[in-house]
Amino acid sequence: MPINCKNCPLRRHELFATMSSDDVAFMQDMKQGEQHVAPGTVVFSQGDKPDHLYTVLEGKGLRHKTLPDGRRQVVNFVMPGDFIGLQAGVMGEMRHAVEATTAMTLCIFNRSDLWKVFQNNPSRAYDLTYLAAIEEHLLGDALSRMGQHGARERVAWSLHRLYRRDVAIGAVAGDGSISLPFRQQDLADALGLSLVHTNKTLAQLKAENVARWERRRLFVHQPETLAQIGLVEQLQPETRPLM
């Protein structure tokens, strides 16, 4: 029994921009159902021209690019509320892969309906552009970190970002930890670091009692120390559209 958009639990969080009830109804109408995928499932492959686009309702995953020489860059981590496949929807094909790390629940949309959004619902069309712009902004940020900062800053920055996002959707356990179901190799591939060096940097943050990542869970003991190390600027809480 799929969730009704009106009651979508994600919508409650402040992270997501409020929608008019018309827009909610519109989305409900476009929603084709839900899909559950197992951990490790490749939702999109690089080069895919998929028929469906998805909003992530539950679970976490990775976006990554495979380069001509076989190396892998993790472009982003996929979190609940993310809309995936827009790039292919608009450009024709996926330029990166999306892989589920945990089990995921996906809200299904038809790619062919994308055009109808632009024709019939300007405000939702605007939100699609908004989403693409946010993605661009996030990547620009990541690029800057990679280009200008060292391993310690990068690791702290990345952990901080993952933590903030989960806090924003209330995905914090009683012990204050969040789910971080990735391998150190994934973080290394995201930050352009070697596995070994990533490991040593994480060990350092742990020894300083700033943050501890083990058993697929991240404990941030000193959030703003982490922010300091990661050179995170004071940012007004951002909101983003939810499709």
**Interface positions with DNA (CB under 7 A):** 150-152, 183-185, 192-200, 202-203, 214-216
**Contact 11/242 with Cβ under 8 angstroms?**
yes
3-state secondary structure of 6: helix
Spatial separation of the C-alpha atoms in residues 95 and 183, rounded to whole Å? 23
**Contact 50/32 with Cβ under 8 angstroms?**
no
189 contact, one of DNA, a copy of itself, none, CB 5-8 Å limit per kind: a copy of itself
**Nearest alpha-carbon partner for 16 in 140, 130, 163, 107:** 130
Told to check if 196 binds a copy of itself by CB under 8 A, we report no
Using CB atoms within 10 Å of the CB of residue 68, give its burial: 0 to 12 exposed, 13 to 18 middle, 19+ buried. Answer: exposed
Told to check if 14 binds a copy of itself by CB under 8 A, we report no
Applying CB under 8 A, which of residues 17, 25, 139, 196 lies at the interface with a copy of itself? 139
Spatial separation of the C-alpha atoms in residues 5 and 27, rounded to whole Å? 7
Residue placing its CB nearer to a copy of itself in the complex, 72 or 165: 72
Torsion angle, alpha carbons of 20, 23, 25, 28, to 10: -130
Q: How far is the CB of 13 from DNA (least distance, A)?
A: 28
Spatial separation of the C-alpha atoms in residues 204 and 202, rounded to whole Å? 5
Q: How far is the CB of 224 from a copy of itself (least distance, A)?
A: 14
215 contact, one of DNA, a copy of itself, none, CB 5-8 Å limit per kind: DNA
Q: How far is the CB of 216 from a copy of itself (least distance, A)?
A: 23
Applying CB under 8 A, which of residues 25, 42, 143, 173 lies at the interface with a copy of itself? 143
Applying CB under 8 A, which of residues 86, 97, 98, 178 lies at the interface with a copy of itself? 86
**Site residues for a copy of itself per CB under 8 A:** 65, 67-69, 71-73, 75, 86-87, 90-91, 95-96, 115, 118-119, 122-123, 125-126, 128-130, 132-137, 139-144, 146-149, 189-192, 231-233
